[in-house]
Structure 1
């Protein structure tokens, strides 16, 4: 246990570990990465590990392009392993209104320099024979997309940060962020006080608990996300394109000789982390495989193998959703030294290399190198979100992650 650090990062998932890594690269800056569980053990390793470069804004597209470059250079930069496959992906519309969204996505993506192409349903099926053209009205090929092993990212960043002098403190529960005269002075943990003038709340599903224990309101909702990894299937090559079916919000990618697949359901389950108790671990989250079975039926004409493939692994995580689908990143108003790195909106791990570097720059230099006001928590200041309102908007963002109308 230490008693002082220049920067204290709470939460060692992808966003927290990446921030700790990039902060630890700054000479003379002491960094502590604190987690109530084992390092990188909660939602991050349970993610799908899919990188989607077609986003709803220029900012997010730019950030994910930067993240792609960092994923490619991850091992060289950090010295840690990261297995990734540059497979490309297929975005699929089954309704005319979603085909219009794909056209807009295509035009914006071309303008942003992405490798995209509008293709026929039959061409899409030739690229990934498990995808059938039945009922498909439009398809887009995204050549920049890739996938990676989600279990390696957060742990890799954390180990690399430790090699640069950061202190890793697993199994250390943060009870409160200490604030005096509007400034952060450190944190109180179950093992004692750590003094420090910078605290980053990257606690994932526990972000609200950390912030609200210090009187800071942050409107996000811990949300259950579930996925299946199938047993190996004949023809399921690692380089087959990932597939995203817009209106059904179903995604799939190759995984260990089979497929990994999941769904952003219409009525997701939200969690009050406080009510789950101090010892709750994401691996103990209640799962419901019927949600996946219903999703498999919904896309049976396009991806019939999902109905018959045997389940090798069924897992889930708890990403955090916001009312507008954007991350919450940067300083908390009125509390000098308090920063957020949360509100991942089911896309935090893939973008964490870019976000971690930007936040580290923001903390040390006083401003990020790009305008991140879109992600500021202050954007919610004009509304006092009730829990029902927040849940309604967050559920909509969850279901419509792929832009379906």
Structure 2
């Protein structure tokens, strides 16, 4: 445990976004960075993520954010680190004419963004993912460079690389608040004393809004439960089975230790107000198997073999969502020297690299590589202070995650 009490940049939160921000700050030459984590690194929502890394997005900035993560993975691996990334490729299925139209538009956009994406027919989809039963009259999108990462492994690689760059990590140091004087962040107060810093970054996941509010500013994001389940191994599942997204069933799946990890987006989401639950821990996120019971039959129409494997485990976390589905990254309004990186909207692992780089550029004042406008923390104006509006809007973003044409 580090007791360093000064830093050029203090980062609140040691999940994957905090680790990626530290990594990119170190790469930008800011070695005097202190990451403060109240628990162990990557022990909260990062550890509960599915880790999908997909580039099929509806905006250039969203696609570039993921592209930066893939570039980071290549760099980390070249430096001898284990990233946990599996380049399986990914399929996005269309089961209706309306979804097919959306898929065609998304593939065309992805190509404009420089992503390797193509449309494939039912025979090719079954060849790429044996066991799928897909309609012959609707093509699927195929992205060969997509895949998934083991979240803890990738986050640890970021942390290790950041340490090599001079970053200090202090676990077991809970940040109680940001110290603000004359309208500027001056550091943070922890359970073990004060830390002076020229800049403070809030990357505390579900707790980002709570910490920002104590500093007199607002973060337009709210945590919403997301669950996934893991099946027992299945003999028919091939080692090269890709990530598969089935928006018309509100579902995605990927390989997991010989079985499959299944995730569903709930139409009646559960927002989790951590500000009202002082003792809340991600490990205690309530789980609801009824969600699996409700959604699994529809998914088994697409993958009949799921019916032969029992569910043997699962995850539940509280990723933060935003009213428009974009990250919240950059300088917080009203407090100079205070920055935030949150609002992952289920893309925290996929977007870690792009978010980390955008955050580092905001802190250092370097020219932005990615368009910061869609991620700007102040983009909602006064509405960001309306806690009820933020919560309802964020829960709606979750519930409509796979709604046609939304992303």
Does the residue aligned with 2:248 lie in a helix, a strand or coil?
A: coil
Gap runs ≥5 in structure 2: none
Pick closer, same or farther for the CA change 1:385–1:292 going to 2, 3 Å.
Answer: farther
Contact 1:296-1:304 within 8 A present in 2 as well: no
Does the residue aligned with 1:206 lie in a helix, a strand or coil?
A: helix
Contact 1:93-1:136 within 8 A present in 2 as well: no
- Deviating above 6 A after TM superposition, structure 1's stretches of 4 or more consecutive aligned residues are none
Does residue 363 in structure 1 map to residue 363 in structure 2?
Answer: yes
Residue 331 of structure 1 aligns with which residue?
331
Rounded to whole Å, the distance in 2 between the matches of 1:384 and 1:32 is 28
Residue 394 of structure 2 aligns with which residue?
394
1:76 Cα deviation after fit: 2.3
Rounded to whole Å, the distance in 2 between the matches of 1:343 and 1:255 is 26
Write the mapping of 1:224-263 to structure 2, written as runs, cut at 5 A. 224-263=225-264
TM-score by length of 2: 0.94
Write the mapping of 1:173-192 to structure 2, written as runs, cut at 5 A. 173-192=174-193
1:136 Cα deviation after fit: 7.2
Rounded to whole Å, the distance in 1 between the matches of 2:40 and 2:258 is 29
Does residue 202 in structure 1 map to residue 203 in structure 2?
Answer: yes
1:297 Cα deviation after fit: 1.4
Rounded to whole Å, the distance in 2 between the matches of 1:307 and 1:329 is 42
Pick closer, same or farther for the CA change 1:107–1:286 going to 2, 3 Å.
Answer: same
Residue 8 of structure 1 aligns with which residue?
10
Does the residue aligned with 2:124 lie in a helix, a strand or coil?
A: helix
Residue 62 of structure 2 aligns with which residue?
60
Does the residue aligned with 1:253 lie in a helix, a strand or coil?
A: strand
Write the mapping of 1:220-299 to structure 2, written as runs, cut at 5 A. 220-278=221-279, 280-299=280-299
Rounded to whole Å, the distance in 1 between the matches of 2:137 and 2:10 is 49
1:382 Cα deviation after fit: 5.1
Contact 2:327-2:375 within 8 A present in 1 as well: yes
Contact 2:20-2:352 within 8 A present in 1 as well: yes
1:83 Cα deviation after fit: 2.2
Gap runs ≥5 in structure 1: none
Structure 1, 357-366 or 329-338: larger mean CA deviation: 357-366
1:240 Cα deviation after fit: 1.3
Rounded to whole Å, the distance in 1 between the matches of 2:323 and 2:312 is 34
Residue 25 of structure 1 aligns with which residue?
27
Pick closer, same or farther for the CA change 1:345–1:138 going to 2, 3 Å.
Answer: same
Residue 71 of structure 1 aligns with which residue?
73
Does the residue aligned with 2:253 lie in a helix, a strand or coil?
A: strand
Q: Cα deviation per residue 1:292-322 (whole Å; 9 max; x = unaligned)? A: 2211112221123334422232111110000
Structure 1, 394-403 or 112-121: larger mean CA deviation: 394-403
Rounded to whole Å, the distance in 1 between the matches of 2:390 and 2:329 is 18
1:69 Cα deviation after fit: 2.0
Residue 144 of structure 1 aligns with which residue?
145
Residue 80 of structure 1 aligns with which residue?
81
Contact 2:229-2:311 within 8 A present in 1 as well: yes
Does the residue aligned with 2:392 lie in a helix, a strand or coil?
A: helix
Rounded to whole Å, the distance in 1 between the matches of 2:221 and 2:114 is 32
1:389 Cα deviation after fit: 3.4
Contact 1:117-1:140 within 8 A present in 2 as well: yes
Residue 302 of structure 2 aligns with which residue?
302
Rounded to whole Å, the distance in 2 between the matches of 1:34 and 1:363 is 17
1:341 Cα deviation after fit: 0.5
Residue 49 of structure 2 aligns with which residue?
47
Does the residue aligned with 2:268 lie in a helix, a strand or coil?
A: coil
1:384 Cα deviation after fit: 5.4
Does the residue aligned with 2:195 lie in a helix, a strand or coil?
A: strand
1:195 Cα deviation after fit: 0.5
Contact 2:223-2:320 within 8 A present in 1 as well: yes
Rounded to whole Å, the distance in 2 between the matches of 1:38 and 1:276 is 20
1:32 Cα deviation after fit: 0.6
Write the mapping of 1:71-110 to structure 2, written as runs, cut at 5 A. 71-77=73-79, 79-110=80-111
Rounded to whole Å, the distance in 1 between the matches of 2:356 and 2:384 is 29
1:25 Cα deviation after fit: 3.5
